[in-house]
Amino acid sequence: MKVCVVSHSAVVDAYREKFHALAAEPGVELHLALPAGWPEGNRWVAAPAPGNEQGVHLSVFPVRWAGKVGGFFMPGLSAWLRRLRPDILHLEEEPYALVGWQAARSLPRAQCPVVFFTWENILRKYKFPLNLIDRWMFKRAAWALAGNHEAQTVLRRRGFDGKIAVLPQYGVNPETFTPEEKPGRREVFTFGYLGRLQVEKGLSTLLAAAAQLTFPFQLIFTGQGNYAETLRAQVARLALQDRVVFRPAVPHADMPAAYRALDVLVLPSETRPDWKEQFGRVLTEAMACGVPVVGSNSGEIPHVIGEAGLVFPEGDAGALAAHLTRLHASAELRRTLSERGRARVLAQFTTAQVARQTLEVYRRMAAESL
């Protein structure tokens, strides 16, 4: 089975691990098309050198309008696809993406079935030409991969009548994200947040909850974003300067240590008219590290946490403070959630699990195209 994958996000090293796992499966020949680079956060990530990478055949293309998820394309991609003539075309792109249309129109429908990926969990109206591409892709694609449960519902409401599998785009490497071997006792209860410092992440609610706590604690924000100064001002107003620490974003390789520095990870995301939490990768990474998690009920967060953590109504600082108080008071509860979180990741959210589910979609697509 020859599979061609188009993915702008896979320029990031960690996001290619799923494809390494897929390429290791018997009978799978996997070719991955990458743009020459992509902006990730506040930095430019250059694609790796083309060639064979752990069984994956990497090809790198020039990119026009990098950073525009719906509006970029890659010169030379169509000729590459026509030359390879894959059995399956996997677009790790939204259905309205120009690059997806560029790729899918290169191959005859009868020759090659198409599967696309979507995170979109809010029903939106797209402008020209993205609306036309979106409708065209719905007719062309046989399958869709939805990154969260609400994305599946949104696809149906938008008119997609093909088959859908709900699974995250990428999993966690449980050999990298591991619990502390010999956890020590911290002098003070430490909880925190890792990720973009943006208003929709509910970080003001997290600070408001911290202000209600009656025991010693340290709150650590690790990340950067345009909401940082607002948060610093709120810290000053609440007189929490001695208890709140701001740390810069860390490379992915250093994330496990950042999680292990916490007794609890909090993801307090808050839904906006044009945004709700699509997954919450930090939750699965923290859970893999044996760190208990607390999340709001925004978007996919409750589905990710399941019975392995605590969930509170988004924006409810009092409910969040109550959860943190419970966790501070009970080492047994923290230990139970730590064990449940690690087990949940191993059962559902590892790179191997995501690759296995993706391969099952490939096999069903191949069988249906015979």
> What confidence score (pLDDT) does residue 184 get?
64
Q: What is the pLDDT of residues 256-283, one digit of tens each?
A: 999 999 999 999 999 999 999 999 999 9
CB 33 within 8 A of CB 100: no
Write the CA distances from 346 to 15, 71, 165, integer angstroms.
18, 36, 19
Domains 2-171+350-368 and 189-348 share a fold: yes
> What confidence score (pLDDT) does residue 370 get?
76
Tell me the Ramachandran region of residue 116: left when phi exceeds 0, alpha when psi lies from -120 to 50, beta otherwise.
beta
> What confidence score (pLDDT) does residue 290 get?
97
SS3 144: strand
Q: What is the pLDDT of residues 148-181, one digit of tens each?
A: 999 999 999 999 999 999 999 999 999 999 998 8
> What confidence score (pLDDT) does residue 105 get?
96
Going by DSSP bridges, is the β-strand pair 56-61/88-91 parallel, antiparallel, or unpaired? unpaired
Q: What is the pLDDT of residues 303-329, one digit of tens each?
A: 999 999 999 999 999 999 999 999 999
Residue-range domain boundaries for the chain: 2-171+350-368, 189-348
SS3 174: coil
> What confidence score (pLDDT) does residue 185 get?
67
CATH 3.40.50.300 corresponds to the domain 189-348: no
Residue 78 φ then ψ, to 5°: -65, -45
CA dihedral 359, 94, 40, 147 (to 10 degrees): -50
| Mean pLDDT of the 208-230 span | 97
CATH topology of domain 2-171+350-368: Rossmann fold (3.40.50)
